[in-house]
Structure 1
Amino acid sequence: MTTPVLICDDSALARKQMARSLPASLNAEVTFAQHGKEAMDILQSQQFTIMFLDLTMPEMDGYQTLQALRDAGIDMPVIVVSADVQPEAQKRVMGLGAKGFIRKPIDKPQLVELLKTLVVEPESDLDTVVQTVVTPKLKRRDIYMEVANVAIGRAADAMARHFDVFVHLPLPNVNLFEVSELHMTMRHLVSNDAMSGVCQGFSGEGIAGEALVLLSDSSVSQLANLLNYPESQEFDNELELLMDISNIMVGSFLQGIGEQAAVRFFQSHPVLLGQHVPIESLIEKTSGNWRKTMTFEVSYAIENTEIKCDLLLMFVDESLPLLDNKLSYLMEDH
């Protein structure tokens, strides 16, 4: 007897990893959805024993999907599988009716224990043999998008815990840029407001690059007020704030990538590129450093504020073959 399973995630790699993490004894018949809207359409004509649901997706995210399931009266166990590991995110999904939460990358023993309570009797023998599921062949971009997604979640969690806020996770954006394209992206990210920018170098096992953290003046002042940074004539509290944010965001993002690539990254001390300056001034400071780069582009927003913080993590072109090799296991079929 087969077990109908619905996996909803916008990442091709995440869908594949989820399907292949299912124990063979579940005998799963898997259906995939790329976002919540597609999942709800599928549920109009099919029934499933269990659903696995990502949170950060286009069209309809995981929170909206859980609410839609509740509104439609669909009584089906849902396990959220997400890179957004903020305590508040977990609290919210459980409040919306999710029966479990698993952080990405998937912890298979945790998955098996959840399945024992939700799908089969506890005494049943659920082994952890890989489930045979046919999935589409992955592209290089699929790999890097999901790697970025996990790293985004780690950085958001670090910010949420440090600053006691809830951070809305963006969809990742990964591109191979010429330097002129990178500068166009920087211009696109910012408003007409004056900006402050911090640069931080990183390296590990021959893989190197730089990270840029960009905040508008309005975001810096709101963040300083939110965090109750004391006013002082002796210290530049805004500068201290910028350095703190850069260290937290860049460090946790690199840790998220490093966990997946088995690389320990080291960061240099953050360097101020400029405070209260036009974006063109910050672009000038980066013009001589790059020819081509693979860039992870992330825009974080803090709930109930207008604060937006942009992170650009750029790997030098020469590092890409090494990083590809470190992540090659994600391309494998088993």
Structure 2
Amino acid sequence: MSLPVLICDDSALARKQMARSLPASLNADISFAEHGWDAIEQLQAKDFRIMFLDLTMPELDGFGTLEEIKKLGLKIPVVVVSGDIQPKAKERVLGLGAKAFIQKPMDKEVLKQVLRELIEPPQQVTSVTPVTFELPVVKRRDIYMEVSNVSIGRAADALARHFDVFVELPLPNVNIFEVSELHMALKDLAENSQVSGVCQGFSGEGIAGEALVLLSDSSVSDLKKLMKVPADSEDLEELELLMDVSNILVGAFLNGLGEQAEVRFFQSSPVLLGQHIPIESVIQSTMGSFSKTMTFEVSYNIEGTSIRCDLLFMFVDESLPLLDHKLSYLMEDF
């Protein structure tokens, strides 16, 4: 007897990893969904025994999917598998009816324990004819999207714990830019507002680059309120706040990336690019640093505030073959 399983994740790599991680004894009959609405449609058309659900997805994210499942009265045990590991995210998904939470990258032993709790032993017997299914095709960009997704989740978790807030975590953007395209992307980040910007260099085993942390003036004002810093406080206190945010986000992201690439990254002290300045001034500070770069970019929003923090990682050209090599194991079947 086969076990119908639904795996919902926008990442082809994550879908493949999840499928490969399921024990053969389940004889899983696996279906895939790329976002929440796709999953809901499949849940209404077929009876599944268990569902694995990502949180950060386009169209309808994991939180919205759980709400929709509850609203429709669909009876399906849901296991959330996500890089968004902040405490309030876990609390919310369990409150919405998820049966378990597994953080990415996934530990197979944790998965086995969850399956033991949710799947009855008789349904773990292998049938005579194993079910076959087609695995997703994984491309280079899929790898970088999933790796950055896990890393920005680590950064959001660090920020959430430090300020005791819930950080809304959108999908990351991964691109390879010429320097002129990078400057256009920076302009899009800040839109029309003035910003305060901090830069930190980083390196590890020949992989190097710079991280930019940008906060709009309105974000700085709300951040000071959140930290109960007087609105008319000295620039020095505001600068310390900026440096703290930069160290938290950049350090946690690099730790997440380093765990996956097995690289120990070192980061330099944050350098102030300017406070309350137009984005053009930040762009000028990056002139000459890169000719072409791969970037990871994400905008963090803190729930209930207007705080938006843009985080941009830029890797120098020479680093890309080394980073490709470090992450090549993710292209392999396992």
Asked whether the two chains share a fold, i.e. TM above 0.5, the reply is yes
TM-score normalised over the length of structure 1: 0.95
Q: SS of the counterpart of 2:79? A: strand
Whole-angstrom CA distance in 2 between matches of 1:231 and 1:53: 42
- 2:31 corresponds to: 31
- 1:143 corresponds to: 143
1:193 aligns with 2:193: yes
Q: SS of the counterpart of 1:236? A: helix
Cα drift, residue 235 of structure 1: 6.3
Moved more, 16-25 or 222-231: 222-231
Matched length: 330
Q: Pick closer, same or farther for the CA change 1:8–1:300 going to 2, 3 Å.
A: same
Letter in 1 for 2:179: V
Cα drift, residue 224 of structure 1: 0.9
Matched-pair identity in %: 68
Alpha-carbon contact 1:116-1:122 (below 8 Å) kept: no
- 1:106 corresponds to: 106
Whole-angstrom CA distance in 1 between matches of 2:234 and 2:6: 58
Alpha-carbon contact 2:224-2:231 (below 8 Å) kept: no
Query: Deviations along 1:109-139, whole A, 9 cap, x unmatched?
Result: 111111111112399789xxxx975313211
Alpha-carbon contact 2:193-2:217 (below 8 Å) kept: yes
Query: Deviations along 1:4-37, whole A, 9 cap, x unmatched?
Result: 0000000000000110110110110100000000
Letter in 2 for 1:154: R
Letter in 2 for 1:199: C
Q: Pick closer, same or farther for the CA change 1:132–1:207 going to 2, 3 Å.
A: farther
Gapped regions of structure 1 (runs ≥ 5): none
Q: SS of the counterpart of 1:74? A: coil
Gapped regions of structure 2 (runs ≥ 5): none
Alpha-carbon contact 1:20-1:133 (below 8 Å) kept: no
Letter in 2 for 1:85: I
Cα drift, residue 276 of structure 1: 0.7
- 1:95 corresponds to: 95
Aligned residues: CA RMSD: 1.8
Whole-angstrom CA distance in 2 between matches of 1:122 and 1:251: 46
- 1:212 corresponds to: 212
Cα drift, residue 3 of structure 1: 0.4
Alpha-carbon contact 2:27-2:125 (below 8 Å) kept: no
Alpha-carbon contact 2:178-2:292 (below 8 Å) kept: yes
Query: Deviations along 1:30-89, whole A, 9 cap, x unmatched?
Result: 000000000111122111000000011111111111111111111110000000101110
Alpha-carbon contact 2:158-2:249 (below 8 Å) kept: yes
Q: SS of the counterpart of 1:304? A: coil
Letter in 1 for 2:193: D
Cα drift, residue 230 of structure 1: 5.2
Alpha-carbon contact 1:191-1:216 (below 8 Å) kept: no
Q: Pick closer, same or farther for the CA change 1:208–1:16 going to 2, 3 Å.
A: same
